Structure 1
């Protein structure tokens, strides 16, 4: 097993981005109505994290077939450490209330791309 810091150094030395983010895989732990009750506070919390630059991405995920939503979600945090990311996840009203539980992992982004198109007159944004 390779230590995280060694892996990150090696990735950077070969020219990879080695951007470290933190991924929370969030799953329902209580009844659907408990999750629904926490939703407004959860969404407000995520909007605040986004404004502060601490939320990279978040949203629901389908089941393995891609056909159904099961209440599983993924949240990608920007943080200085795993401990800081854990504090963000713990402060999420969904997790703090016990309506959902989560697992948290480091994610090193090395490859990939995305494009942003902003339409000024149409006030539109397209991400790909």
Structure 2
């Protein structure tokens, strides 16, 4: 197995991870940031939370929650979500349907993420 990672494709990285015996599960990380302050975020919360709960209950949501400022002292309305999805298009549709994004309270950036160590199941 080649160890040259310069210019490695995402598919190549996933294959390499599997070859190394790692978990190699593709998930999608969504970073969600406020567009116009905290007011719109608060206004969308009553719709956002049940949406997130439905994703969790259906097994789509791996993790979600608020994101602290870089120094850990504040919360400015940002959040992170991790979805299980077949591909980037499906994950993007889920993020777009989130009331935080659909109502324009937040914008999002979404990236494929390879979970190599750890597990997507919880131990009792």
Aligned equivalent of 1:78: 84
Is the alpha carbon distance of 1:59 and 1:81 closer, same or farther for their aligned partners in structure 2, counting shifts above 3 Å?
Answer: same
* 7, 13, 21: which one aligns with 1:7: 13
Question: Deviation above 4 Å: which 4+ runs of structure 1?
Answer: none
Aligned equivalent of 2:123: 116
Task: Output the TM-score relative to the length of structure 2.
Answer: 0.88
Task: Output the TM-score relative to the length of structure 1.
Answer: 0.86
Q: CA RMSD of the aligned region, Å?
A: 1.4
Unmatched segments (≥5 aa) in structure 2:
1-6
When you count strand as a share of all residues, which structure comes out higher? 1
- Number of residue pairs matched by the alignment: 117
Task: Kindly indicate whether structure 1 or structure 2 has the higher relative contact order, using CA contacts under 8 Å at least 6 residues apart.
Answer: 2
1:47-81 CA-to-partner distances (Å, cap 9, x unmatched) read 11111111010000111111211211100001111
Alignment partner of 1:98 is 2:85:
no
The alignment partner of 2:14 has SS state of helix
Unmatched segments (≥5 aa) in structure 1:
118-128
